[in-house]
Amino acid sequence: MSDALFRFFLAFSHGTIIIPLIIIGYLWFDRRRVFFHGTCLLLLSMAFNWALKVTFQIPLSPELGKEGFAFPSGHMQTAFVFYGWLWRSFHNHLPVKIGIPLVLIGIGIGLVHFGYHTYFDVFGGLFFGFLLLYTYSWLLMRLKETTFLITLFLFSTSLMVYSGLVYKIKELTWIAYGVLVFLIFSQYVFKFKKHFP
């Protein structure tokens, strides 16, 4: 029973749930800006997490039979950033107010339950996820949109350069970075076209 329950919670940290959520949210809700920034945060978190992993280089448990680094937990960090952004944006809705914290707790416990991470890795993911979410929100409120987009591009690019110099960049991180750059430039071009029809 507990295995099935934790698999259910862990599904919320995978693209099979997050990608449809983004698409549905972007198409059906009138708050597209929320889902645009939620997606940017998610993608930025993936690049940021890899830069952190190659900095600390704490290996995954040998029992997993996989190469890679454990700290901080990427699933926990990206889930916290994405769902934390949604919670921040929709916290007045009772299902969101209660549901998102329960999902995040379930993800964290599930990662430890299946031996993917230790609590240290999970709390590291929460800490760096909170740091990223807070900084992103703070900059978004204080910078003009164009300046914010340029800052986002420069920061994500510097994370990629750093990761490449320190270790190597895995394919999934390249994909996240590529999609993020596409979103940044499409948002910039869309904004530019609105002012010059």
| 87-114: average pLDDT | 87
pTM for the full model?
Answer: 0.87
Spatial distance between the Cα atoms of 119 and 73, rounded to a whole number of angstroms: 9
The reported pLDDT for the residue numbered 197 is: 38
Map residue 56 onto helix, strand or coil.
helix
Sketch the domain layout of the chain as residue ranges.
2-195
**Residue 48 to residues 77, 113, 136, 163: CA-CA distances in angstroms?**
10, 25, 12, 9
Which of 89-98, 116-125, 187-196 has the highest mean predicted lDDT (pLDDT)?
116-125
The reported pLDDT for the residue numbered 25 is: 79
Spatial distance between the Cα atoms of 128 and 161, rounded to a whole number of angstroms: 19
Q: What is the token pair recorded at 196?
A: 């010059």
Q: Is the pLDDT of residue 53 over 90?
A: yes
Q: Which of 6-20, 115-129, 150-164 has the lowest mean pLDDT?
A: 6-20
